[in-house]
């Protein structure tokens, strides 16, 4: 079934902006083999046998509520029919997608489902996203309202995170490595070379960007989270729920259990191997509290000189928003300050667009500002009101008159 046809049956998918639809693909259900379906059945039966004691209590109800069959690989359109009842949706994607896009899908309450099926020799764990991980791991837990709210809010926050070019280069390296590791006849030398490239990118990441730090919080909760008490934690992370091997080993004593807090942002992860430590949260509201604590430090909430400086440091497309609602989107390269270290002027380089409350201003797109954009910011000297709140008479008093240069 095509993307367009099933999007008409699900409000969450239907609400997606056009720039996200570029990542959506058809599931090509008829290409799954009998071996693929057999692998699915084996994984589900093995996981159900073990997880009935160790998974979060909502997991099994979630499997029923989201239409996940134990007997065959699920169809995305069938999942959409059922997910729509809890105001979520799903789209098929081709493996890893960029972190910013992934976050934005979550903000729209849409799960991205990588529809590949892991090879039979990777039954216990695959480093590449596949339909077991996405459909049987992520989907069941969202029937819990608190967790659903957390996941959507994470998407909203993540969509506003600063991301550096180095982040994207690391994402590309990890994507390449995960694909090679899942291919049935990969050249070991290629895998070794790709592994070294990931390690090199990780070492040269520099100061982690907001997106890099948020990705760690996402990994240690949504992907590899434990919940409850330290003596008997339950599994809710999709990476654990979808891995026969790691769902068993994660509860062993040699895997360190750490109380979940904002400090988890300082713990990097390796997507290609089992995790040596995991974080335990009290409940799903605890996750939301930590997320909001992190969000309070982000550029979009802090603003001012610190926010602009983060944008310049990332050297990637960002949006600066005036208190009036005017938005400037581009790659920022300079900020000037006054004697009190307050920003008074900023500048972008390369194609830049102006918008007002998320709608591009007519005649002020990238073509108009192809070489960048610069403008004053902040309060005017000897004027104690924000410029957008000045009356016409007040504007005239400082020499600003409609139609006069």
> Does 213 share its domain with 64?
yes
What number is the average pLDDT over the span 195-206? 83
pLDDT in tens, 206-223: 788 999 999 999 999 999
Of the listed ranges 243-247, 321-325, 334-338, 366-370, the least confidently predicted one is 243-247
Q: pLDDT grade, residue 148 (50/70/90)?
A: very high
- For position 325, what pLDDT does the model report? 92
Is 240 within a domain? yes
Is 402 within a domain? no
pLDDT in tens, 72-95: 999 998 889 888 989 999 999 988
Is 302 within a domain? no
Count up the domains in the chain and report the number.
Answer: 2
> Does 329 share its domain with 208?
no
Which of 320, 327, 293, 317 shows the shortest CA–CA distance to 305?
A: 320
> Does 236 share its domain with 106?
yes
pLDDT over 80 at 128, yes or no: no
pLDDT in tens, 50-71: 888 899 999 988 988 887 888 9
Which of 298, 269, 303 shows the shortest CA–CA distance to 159?
A: 298
- For position 7, what pLDDT does the model report? 56
Q: Strands, DSSP E only, in 1-95? A: 24-25, 89-93
pTM confidence score: 0.85
Is 111 within a domain? yes
| CB 275, CB 252: distance < 8 Å | no
Residue that wins the pLDDT comparison between 379 and 38: 38
Which of 148, 111, 295 shows the shortest CA–CA distance to 217?
A: 295
For residue 161, the 8-state DSSP code is -
Number of CB atoms found within 10 A of residue 77's CB: 18
Q: Give the domain range for residue 43.
A: 3-294
With 0-12 CB in 10 A as exposed, 13-18 as middle and 19+ as buried, what is 139?
Answer: buried
> Does 63 share its domain with 157?
yes
> Does 251 share its domain with 323?
no
Which of 79, 264, 267, 272 shows the shortest CA–CA distance to 174?
A: 272
The 3-state DSSP composition of the chain as helix, strand, coil percent (nearest 5) reads 50, 15, 35
3-state secondary structure 291-329: HHHHHCCCHHHHCHHHHHHHHHHHCCEEEEECCCCEEEE
Sign, CA torsion 353/357/360/364: negative
> Does 335 share its domain with 366?
yes
User: How far is the CA of 328 from the CAs of 81, 246, 314, 320, in angstroms?
Assistant: 39, 45, 16, 5
- Rounded-to-integer distance, Cα 8 and Cα 14, Å: 6
- Rounded-to-integer distance, Cα 339 and Cα 327, Å: 26
- For position 4, what pLDDT does the model report? 46
User: How far is the CA of 84 from the CAs of 90, 103, 150, in angstroms?
Assistant: 9, 19, 18
> Does 333 share its domain with 377?
yes
pLDDT in tens, 25-43: 999 999 999 999 999 999 8
Is 300 within a domain? no
- For position 8, what pLDDT does the model report? 60
pLDDT over 90 at 332, yes or no: yes
Tokens of 4: 């367009």
Q: Which of 154-163, 381-390, 396-405 has the highest mean pLDDT?
A: 154-163
Average pLDDT score, the chain? 89
Which of 297, 379, 375, 373 shows the shortest CA–CA distance to 342?
A: 379
β-bridge pairing 89-93 and 110-114: parallel
pLDDT over 60 at 328, yes or no: yes
- Rounded-to-integer distance, Cα 272 and Cα 126, Å: 8
| CB 43, CB 132: distance < 8 Å | yes
Q: pLDDT grade, residue 1 (50/70/90)?
A: very low
Which of 24, 22, 19 shows the shortest CA–CA distance to 6?
A: 24
> Does 9 share its domain with 153?
yes
Residue that wins the pLDDT comparison between 364 and 53: 364
């Amino acid at each position: 079934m095509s993307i367009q046809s099933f999007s008409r049956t699900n409000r969450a998918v239907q609400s997606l902006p056009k720039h996200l639809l570029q990542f959506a693909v058809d599931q090509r259900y008829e290409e799954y083999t009998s071996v693929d379906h057999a692998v699915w059945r084996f994984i589900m039966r093995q996981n159900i046998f073990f997880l009935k004691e160790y998974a979060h209590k909502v997991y099994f109800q979630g499997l029923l509520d989201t239409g996940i069959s134990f007997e065959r690989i699920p169809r995305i359109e069938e999942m959409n029919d059922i997910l729509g009842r809890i105001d979520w949706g799903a789209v098929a994607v081709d493996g890893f997608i960029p972190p910013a896009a992934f976050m934005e899908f979550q903000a729209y309450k849409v799960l991205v489902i990588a529809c590949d099926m892991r090879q039979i020799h990777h039954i216990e764990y695959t480093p590449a996203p596949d339909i077991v991980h996405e459909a049987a791991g992520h989907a069941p837990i969202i029937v819990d309202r608190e967790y659903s709210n957390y996941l959507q809010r994470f998407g909203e926050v993540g969509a506003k995170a600063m991301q550096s070019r180095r982040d994207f280069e690391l994402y590309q390296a990890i994507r390449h490595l995960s694909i090679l590791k899942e291919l049935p006849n990969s050249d070991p030398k290629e895998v070794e070379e790709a592994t070294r490239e990931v390690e090199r990118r990780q070492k040269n990441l520099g100061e982690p960007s907001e997106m890099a730090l948020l990705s760690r919080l996402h990994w240690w909760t949504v992907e590899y989270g434990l919940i409850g008490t330290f003596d008997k934690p339950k599994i809710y992370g999709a990476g654990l729920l979808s891995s026969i091997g790691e769902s068993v080993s994660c509860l062993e004593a040699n895997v360190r259990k750490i109380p979940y807090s904002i400090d988890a942002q300082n713990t990097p992860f390796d997507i290609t191997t089992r995790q040596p430590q995991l974080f335990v949260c009290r409940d799903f509201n605890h996750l939301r509290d930590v997320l909001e604590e992190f969000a309070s430090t982000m550029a979009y909430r802090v603003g001012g000189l610190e926010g602009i400086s983060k944008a310049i440091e990332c050297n990637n497309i960002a949006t600066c928003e005036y208190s009036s609602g005017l938005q400037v989107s581009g790659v920022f390269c300079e900020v000037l300050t006054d004697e009190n270290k307050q920003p008074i002027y900023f500048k972008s380089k390369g194609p830049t667009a102006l918008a007002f409350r998320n709608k591009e201003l007519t005649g002020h797109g990238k073509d108009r500002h192809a070489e960048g954009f610069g403008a004053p910011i902040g309060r005017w000297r000897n004027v104690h009101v924000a410029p957008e709140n000045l009356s016409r008479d007040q504007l005239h008093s400082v020499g600003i008159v409609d139609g006069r240069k």
